[in-house]
Amino acid sequence: MSQPDIIVCADRDALNLEAANRFVELADAAISERGRFMVALSGGSTPKALFELLASDVWRDRVDWDHVHLFWGDERGVPKDHPDSNYGMTNGALLSKLSIPETNVHRVRTEAGTPDEVAEIYAGELREAFGLGAEGVPSFDLIHLGLGDDGHTASMFPGTTAMHESERLVVAVWVEKFQQHRITMTPVVLNNAAEVQFLVAGASKVDVLPQVIAGPYEPDRLPSQTVKPSRGQLRWILDREAAAKL
């Protein structure tokens, strides 16, 4: 397990530029080596700004989108066109502005059944997309994650057990604070990636960030601490506000 790489950027614009450059570099390398770039995206305001940047006229053609496959690290239990949908946010900020093949977009099909059924279906889609058997674990080229001010990441929240999952790739969780089901990848997948990037911006993260990175290991209180890629790189891309107490 390599040491985390911590990059502190001057502001949110600089953070987006850093993340965009890294996205392009990893895409080029993966497509050159293996013919495709496998990415799991996150929701929230920070990645939305990154997606808008990648979709801009200056950046759009720097990525060979025909060979990019997009997945989501977690999803809210809402329809795809709901304002809370992570897929919906990504579609508005990025996908609608690209000519990416529909077969390369692997959204969580929240309409496919009960939350547990949806999780099982998505786990099956992961294995199929990566060409794996029933026991295989996908290895993403890049996974984007955010950090909540309560220490959660993806939909691994305090009060759930998703962060302790050691077998299933994807699980459904009930998040009491939002009175909502969510679907989330588990550490089984997150820790098998070649690179995991936490994109963290804003003063609301200034207190929790040092606890997650340098504090005692308390995964029930700080589920994001369970993200420790076994063979890949963990990279924190932060703005100065979020990193003020590191």
> Which whole-number Å values give the CA distances from 5 to 1, 8, 170, 174, in the listed order?
12, 10, 26, 32
Judge if pTM exceeds 0.95. Answer: yes
Number of H helices, E strands in the chain: 6, 9
Q: Dump pLDDT digits (tens) for 19-73.
A: 999 999 999 999 999 999 999 999 988 899 999 999 999 999 999 999 999 999 9
Residues 6+ apart with CB under 8 A from 120: 170
**Domains of the chain, CATH where assigned:** 5-239 (3.40.50.1360)
What is the identity of the amino acid at 83? P
- State the pLDDT at residue 234: 98
Rounded-to-integer distance, Cα 235 and Cα 197, Å: 5
Q: Dump pLDDT digits (tens) for 173-229.
A: 999 989 999 999 999 999 999 999 999 999 999 999 999 999 999 999 999 999 999
What is the CA angle 132-24-56, rounded to 5?
Answer: 120
The secondary structure of residue 197, as a DSSP letter, is E
Rounded-to-integer distance, Cα 131 and Cα 203, Å: 42
The secondary structure of residue 3, as a DSSP letter, is P
Q: How many residues are there in the chain?
A: 246
pLDDT at 146 over 80: yes
